[in-house]
């Protein structure tokens, strides 16, 4: 396994996913590529004229936070091969990034949306699993912290 693509959205669940991906990368001597996707809103909350401003604001916040995330999660910076921020549909951007990095595995955390939330917003994890031609490891959100074994 040469490259593991880890999806991060800065949630607690994605931090667990990142820690798991880093553990795999360390054990298999793989590169770890990080990806954060800024998705367009389903229903514009600020009106259509403000969508580019909202995207720019979210991108700036991600650019500030992404380099800090491995440190916050206690991950050795030597494992990190790249950290990318993209805009667009998350499932599409995941597949594009995995192809560009020649990823052998995609790791992402599921937030476990159910009911109406899932019906209206769908699941990035579900769409990635359906569309990615690479193996996708989906980790369920957990209450306890990830423990290295």
Complete domains list, the chain, with CATH? 3-140 (3.40.50.620)
Nearest to 132 by CA among 124, 142, 122: 124
Q: What is the pLDDT of residue 2?
A: 92
Q: Using CB atoms within 10 A of its CB, is residue 62 exposed (0-12), middle (13-18) or buried (19+)?
A: buried
What's the pTM value of the predicted model, to 2 decimals? 0.81
pLDDT (tens digit, 9 = 90+) per residue, 103-144? 999 999 876 544 444 433 457 777 788 888 889 998 876 544
Q: What are the helix (H) ranges across 11-146?
A: 12-28, 51-65, 69-72, 90-101, 115-121, 124-131
Largest CA distance in the chain: 50
Q: What is the pLDDT of residues 59-76, one digit of tens each?
A: 999 999 999 999 998 998
Q: In a 3-state reduction of DSSP, which class is residue 109? A: strand
Helical (H) or strand (E) element with 86: strand 80-87
């Amino acid at each position: 396994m040469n490259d593991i693509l880890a999806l991060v959205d800065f949630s607690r669940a994605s931090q667990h996913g990142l820690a798991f991906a880093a553990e795999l990368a360390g054990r298999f001597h793989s590169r770890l590529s990080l990806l954060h996707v800024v998705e367009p809103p389903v229903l514009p909350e600020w009106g259509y004229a403000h969508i580019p401003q909202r995207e720019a604001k979210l991108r700036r916040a991600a650019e500030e936070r992404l380099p800090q995330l491995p440190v916050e999660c206690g991950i050795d910076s030597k494992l990190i091969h790249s950290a990318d921020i993209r805009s667009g549909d998350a499932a599409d951007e995941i597949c594009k990034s995995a192809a560009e990095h020649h990823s052998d595995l995609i790791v992402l955390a599921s937030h476990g949306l159910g009911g109406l939330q899932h019906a209206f917003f769908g699941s990035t994890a579900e769409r990635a699993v359906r569309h990615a031609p690479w193996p996708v490891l989906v980790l369920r959100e957990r209450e306890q912290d990830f423990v290295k074994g």
